[in-house]
Chain A
Amino acid sequence: MDRLLVRLCPNDLLEEIQGDLHEAFVWRCKNLSVAYAKRKFLLEVLMVSKFYKPKMMKNSKLALLNNYLKTGLRFLWKTRKYAGINIIGLTVGITVCWMCFFYLYDEMTFDRFNKNRDRLYRVTQEVMIEGDLLKFDGGSYIMGEVFPANIPQIDGMSRFKSAYGIVKMNEENMFQYMHFADADIFRMLDFNILEGSYLDFGSPDNILISARMARTLNVGLEEITIHFRNQDKRFNIIGIYQDLPHNSTVRPKFILPFAYYATRAEKERLKNWHDFNMNALIMLKDAADKGLVEAQMTALATADAEEGSGEKMTLQPYSQIHLDTTYRNGNGLRPTADMDILWIAGIVGLLCLLISAINYSNFSLGNYIVRSKEVAVRKVIGAHQQSVFSQFICESFLSTTIAAIVSLLLLLGILPFFAEFMNKGYLTFEDLFQPDLIIGGLSVLLVITLIAGLYPAIVLSGFKVNDALRGKEKIGKGSLLSRFYLTIQFGLAIFLIIGMLAATRQFDYLIDFDLGYEDENVVTLGVTNFDKERLERFEAALSAIPGVQRFASNSGYNGTDFVYQENRYSTRHIVVSPEFVPTLGIEILQGRNFDPDLATDINNSVIVNETLVKMLGLPDPLGTVLPFSYGEFKNPTIIGVVKDFHFYSPKYEKMPLVMYQSPQYVIQNILVKLDASAGSDPLYHIEKAWREAYDPYPFEVIWLNDHNEAEMAVEERVKKIATTGSLIAVFLAALGLMSMVGTHVNQRMKEISIRKISGASPAHLYGQYARKFAVWIVGGFVLGCLPAYYYVSEWLDDYPSRIELSWDFALIALGICTMVFVTTLVIQLTKVIRANPVVFLRDE
Chain B
Amino acid sequence: METLGSLEEIVLMILLKHEKCSGVEIGRYHDEALNKSISLPAIHVVLKRMEKKGWVESEFGLPTAERGGRRQRIYRATSSGRVVVKEIHEAKVKLWSGVSPALEYVSI
Contact = CB atoms under 8 A, between A and B. Distances in A.
A48 B41 contact: yes
Contact of A40 (B28, B39, B71): B39
A17 B41 contact: yes
Interface string A1-43: 0000000000001011111111110110000000000001001
Given A15-B71, A16-B23, A16-B73, A23 B66 contact: yes
B15 to A, nearest CB: 15
B68 A21 contact: no
A44 B28 CA distance: 15
A26 B70 CA distance: 14
Nearest to B73: A16
A793 B84 CA distance: 87
Given A16-B23, A27-B24, A22 B39 contact: no
Contact of B40 (A15, A20, A51): A20
Contacts of B39: 40, 43-44, 47
Contacts of A16: 23, 44, 70-73
B45 A22 contact: no
Contacts of B44: 13, 16-17, 20, 48, 51
Interface string B28-42: 100000000101111
Given A15-B70, A16-B23, A23 B41 contact: no
B30 to A, nearest CB: 12
Interface in B1-59: 22-24, 27-28, 37, 39-42, 44-45, 48
A19 B37 CA distance: 19
A24 B27 contact: yes
Query: Main secondary structure on chain B at its contact with chain A?
Result: mixed
B64 interface: yes
Q: Give the bracket for the number of chain B residues in contact with chain A.
A: 20 to 34
Nearest to A26: B66
Given A13-B44, A27-B28, A43-B39, A20 B22 contact: yes
Nearest to B23: A20
Contacts of B28: 24, 27
Best-buried of B22, B24, B72 by chain A (most CB within 10 Å): B24
A147 to B, nearest CB: 68
Contacts of B70: 15-16, 18-19, 22
A19 B68 contact: yes
Nearest to A17: B44
Given A20-B40, A24-B24, A50 B67 contact: no
Given A27-B24, A27-B28, A21 B40 contact: yes
Interface in A309-330: none
A47 B68 contact: no
B41 A19 contact: no
Given A24-B27, A27-B24, A27-B28, A19 B67 contact: yes
Given A13-B44, A22-B70, 6 more contacts: A16-B23, A17-B44, A20-B23, A20-B24, A21-B40, A22-B68
Interface of B: 22-24, 27-28, 37, 39-42, 44-45, 48, 63-64, 66-68, 70-73
5 contacts: A17-B23, A17-B40, A22-B70, A23-B24, A27-B24
